[in-house]
Copies of this chain bind each other. A is one copy, B any other.
Amino acid sequence: MPLPHPFYPPATTLSSPYHPNDLDARTILALFSAGCTALLISALAIARTRRPSLSTQDQALALWFVLSAFIHIVLESYSFYNHARLPTNQDFLGQLWKEYALADSRYMTDDPLVFCIDGLTAITLGPLCLLLVYLILTASPYRHCIQLLVSTLQLYGDVLYYLTGLCSYYFMGISHTRPEGVYFWGYFIGANVPWVVVPAWCIYNSVKAMAGAIGQQTSYIQGKGDRNNSKKG
C-alpha cells in the first residue's frame, strides 16, 4: 500500500517517502521567478557591457539561452542527480520539483524516459547553451550552427516529453497530471511550451542566416569563375 501523496495517479509508487512541502505554491513560484529575473537582469547588463553593438534581437536570444542554460544546468541536473529522493527532498529545488510534479508525477517515480531526457539535457544542452551565449557575444561564425543544433535538441526533447505524457493518457488511460486545469494548462503545457515556440523560431532564424551565407559563397565562387573565364577569353 503506497503512502498517501498528492500526485496522479493516486496509486503511483514514489521513488522515496513523500514529505509535503512547507513552502506554499505562490512562495515557491515567486522565489523562482525572482531568481530568474535577477539572473536575466545581470546577464543583460553583462551582454551590453561586453558587446554594446549587439542588436535587440540578439540581446533577447542571448537572454533566452542564459535562461535555458540555468534551467538545464541547475533544475534538470538537480532532478537527474536526485531522481531517487525527489519526493523526500525539502531544499528549495526539491520543493520546486514537488510543486511541478503535481503536473507530471513521472519526476517522482523511476520513469526511465524523464530520467534520461533530464540527464542528456543537463549534460549536453546546459554547457552548449552557455557556449552559445559566448558565440553570440563574440559574433562567432559557429554561432548559427550551434544555435541550430541546440534549438533542434530543445524542440525534439520537449515534443517527445509532451508526446510520451499524452500517449500515456490517450493510449493507456494513465494521467500523470492532477485534474485541476492549472496543472495541465499552467504547468505541463504553459511552463514547457516556450521550449517549442522559441526553438522553432531559432531554427528558422539560423537556417535563413546559414543558407544565405552559403548561397552568397556559391555565387561569389561562381562570379569569380566567370570573371576568370572572361579574362582568359
Contacts and interface: CB of A to CB of B under 8 A. Distances in A.
A224 to B, nearest CB: 12
B210 A145 contact: yes
This chain's copy number in the assembly: 2
Most chain-B Cβ atoms within 10 A of its Cβ — which of A115, A211, A214, A215?
A: A214
Contacts of A143: 214
A217 B232 CA distance: 27
Interface residues of A, number: 43
Interface of A: 110, 112-113, 115-117, 119-120, 139, 141-146, 148-149, 152-153, 156-157, 159-160, 163-164, 167-168, 171-172, 203, 206-207, 209-218, 220
21 contacts: A112-B113, A113-B113, A113-B164, A116-B160, A116-B163, A116-B164, A141-B212, A142-B207, A145-B206, A145-B211, A148-B148, A149-B152, A149-B207, A152-B153, A152-B156, A210-B213, A210-B214, A213-B214, A213-B217, A217-B217, A220-B220
